[in-house]
Amino acid sequence: MDATTAKKRAKELQTILNQYNYEYHVLDNPSVPDSEYDMRLKELIGIEEQYPELKTPDSPTVRVGGAVLDAFQKVEHRTPMLSLANAFSEEDLLDFDRRVRQGIGDSFSYMCELKIDGLAVSLLYEEGLFTRGATRGDGYVGEDITANLKTIKSIPLKINKPLTFEVRGEAYMPKKSFNDLNAIRAENNEEAFANPRNAAAGSLRQLDPRIAAKRNLSVFLYSLADLGGTGVVTQSEGLDLLDDLGFKTNKERRTCADIHEVIEYVKGWTEKRPDLPYEIDGIVIKVNSLDQQEELGYTAKSPRWAIAYKFPAEEVVTKLLDIELSVGRTGVITPTAILSPVKVAGTTVSRASLHNEDLIREKDIKLYDYVVVKKAGDIIPEVVNVLVDRRTDEQQEFKMPTHCPACGSELVRLEEEVALRCINPKCPAQIREGLIHFVSRNAMNIDGMGEKVITQLFGENLIHDVADIYQLKHEQLIELERMGEKSVQKLLAAIEASKANSLERLLFGLGIRHVGSKAAKTLAQQFGSMDALAKAGMEELTAINEIGDKMADSVVTFFEQEEVGELLQELKNAGVNMEYKGPKPVSAEESDSIFAGKTVVLTGKLEILTRNEAKEKLEALGANVAGSVSKKTNLVIAGADAGSKLAKAQELGVEVWDEEKLVQELNK
């Protein structure tokens, strides 16, 4: 076949195969048998191997999986992928409805959608071509899994309009794919996946896309990150638009006139849930109007206009074999029930939380009892109650220890606390947990030094406190199991990079009691350096709005310890930064900036600054950066592809700037 003929035939085959994919994986209505598809795909692969220049980014051959990746790159989401607040009962739904009515009145409707039990993903299209896919991650930063997502045949590699936008949805493994996969794993003497959600997540985080290609995943898309410029004014119209563009959406959705219709929809799917060919773990309820969504706005963690109803947890009976005690980072002794393995909500459970001694007494839990277990919110296993009528002479009273199971120190119960606590600062279990916390993502974020590596280093006596992390040498690490040359170099580079972190990360990593990541940033901003904070007294600390007496006392007590001073000096000697590097917020009264006291909204894609950089710079000049446009908004910064927020600003007569003007003002 000559080049001209090959080019024409390749184009024909790509068009035909993409249509077959759409019919089979989106419409669930195949027009040809699998053998016909396979034959044409094989022909296209042959042509593209002979003429590599004919392989386009949207060729169906992309879906078979490509080269093995070294690692996943980080991706910052243009618009945060926030999680939803949960509802577990009819009363919770009625409370949600009451809050919505307080915010926008009585004239609105709801859109109800099945909550697919999978992995949230974000897909970026540029000029109609799928260019990047990412996981949700922490909501702000995810991982680039484009190569794996391209293997999902229900994701169009090219849509029927040359649009640039971001679409979001849930990648999942159908029940049939899950059962087929576990059957293959059983034949190969491999451990079975616990449930389709874990299998889907594990498949999409494979560095070899060919593995993901074999797992037969699918996807349901449920939103465009910004619907501006499309003429869409409701969630239901947005889903219809996704259908028109060739995406796969869930057809079981329904618009409900009021909360009572929502509750009927929820009840119906609670019963019909087992009949679906995929797993769902609840119902997502959204205010349908996009303008009303903007009006309701967001909390720090979730939108006020949506909620996820979680199905009642499945309850099963099993035997409690033992109660295991663990020592946390702050010395709290936590009992955990060791159970005879049992399947609950699709996963095999052998452990369940017992929280504390008071709960064990309150529920009258004894060793070798038969207990009812459920997964709260389909996530955390817990013991609901004991089946007293099944007791025999076998049961035994459980007594909490008087001494720490890790170090032998006497346990204490502090005033107004239900938990027993080990207060020995040299307790090895606390030290290990503290080290794990220190290197975690929100603290010093040392990539490659997770729980297993910390446990290994601690067990080999290579680290005893956080300062020891910065003394690790190549020759020590290369001797450890599962530590090759590449891993060692990456880990040492990550340790070195963490020295430059801003003060708030170090403060949070040190694990000062009652000081979370937000309080750590507040303290770092206020005092500027570790030395200044260490000298602060109760009066200085409690003068800060967000710092109460309990937290202030904890901070003062922490820095009074001689061991803390020695530890900080070791960290300084190792080159760990002790200064706050971010912008220091000022009040509107203190700032002479034009942004002082103004409410600013950022929308669209920023090209010069990241969204977080712009937010930090504005807050440093006394601005309040909000997530939605309202009558209280003073200024909107509109980047590329700005949508409904820009339209709302124009409707309300709010002043609008482009990014270039923002940067000019920030540079003054």
Would you please indicate which residues are annotated as catalytic (active-site) residues? 115
Residues 6+ apart with CB under 8 A from 53: none
**Cβ–Cβ < 8 Å for 57, 159:** no
Beta bridge partners of 375: 381
The answer to whether 150 and 105 are in contact (CB under 8 A) is no
Name the packing angle between helices 659-666 and 611-620 (round to 10°). 40
What are the residues whose beta carbons fall under 8 Å from the beta carbon of 170, sequence distance 6 or more?
116, 118, 119, 120, 121, 219, 220, 222
Instruction: Tell me the C-alpha distance between 420 and 402, whole Å.
Output: 9
Is residue 296 a contact partner of residue 287, using CB atoms and an 8 Å limit? yes
**Nearest C-alpha neighbor of 642 from the set 621, 665, 626, 658:** 658
Q: How far is residue 506's CA from residue 538's CA, in Å, rounded to a whole number?
A: 21
- 203 contacts 173 by C-beta, under 8 angstroms: yes
CA–CA distance, 337 with 95 (Å, rounded to integer): 34
Query: What does the alpha-carbon distance between residue 605 and residue 126 come to, in Å, rounded to a whole number?
Result: 13
In the numeric block, the tokens 């899950």 are attached to 178
Token digits of residue 21: 């994919």
CA of 235: how far to CAs of 180, 231, 239, 387, 392, in Å? 35, 12, 6, 47, 57
Describe the crossing of helices 175-187 and 196-204 by its angle, rounded to 10 degrees.
80
How far apart are alpha carbons 451 and 138 in whole angstroms? 18
**Closest among 119, 152, 147 to 133, alpha carbons compared:** 147
Contact assessment for residue 418 and residue 356, using Cβ atoms and an 8 Å cutoff: yes
Three-state SS at 167 = strand
Asked if residue 376 lies in contact with residue 89, where contact means CB atoms within 8 angstroms, the answer is no
- Whether 342 and 319 have beta carbons less than 8 Å apart is answered as no
| Residues paired with 602 in a beta bridge | 637
Query: How far is residue 506's CA from residue 509's CA, in Å, rounded to a whole number?
Result: 5
The DSSP line for 498-509 is HTT--HHHHHHH
**In the structure encoding, which two tokens stand for residue 88, read together?**
């577990």
**Strand bridging mode 655-658 / 635-638:** parallel
Continuous segment of H or E residues that includes residue 527: helix 517-527
Instruction: Give the Cα separation of 262 and 285 in Å (integer).
Output: 8
Q: Kindly report the three-state secondary structure assignment for every residue of 362-416.
A: HCCCCECCEEEEEEECCCEEEEEEECHHHCCCCCECCCCCCECCCCCCECECCCC
- Dihedral-angle region of residue 528 (phi above 0 means left; psi in -120 to 50 means alpha; beta otherwise): left
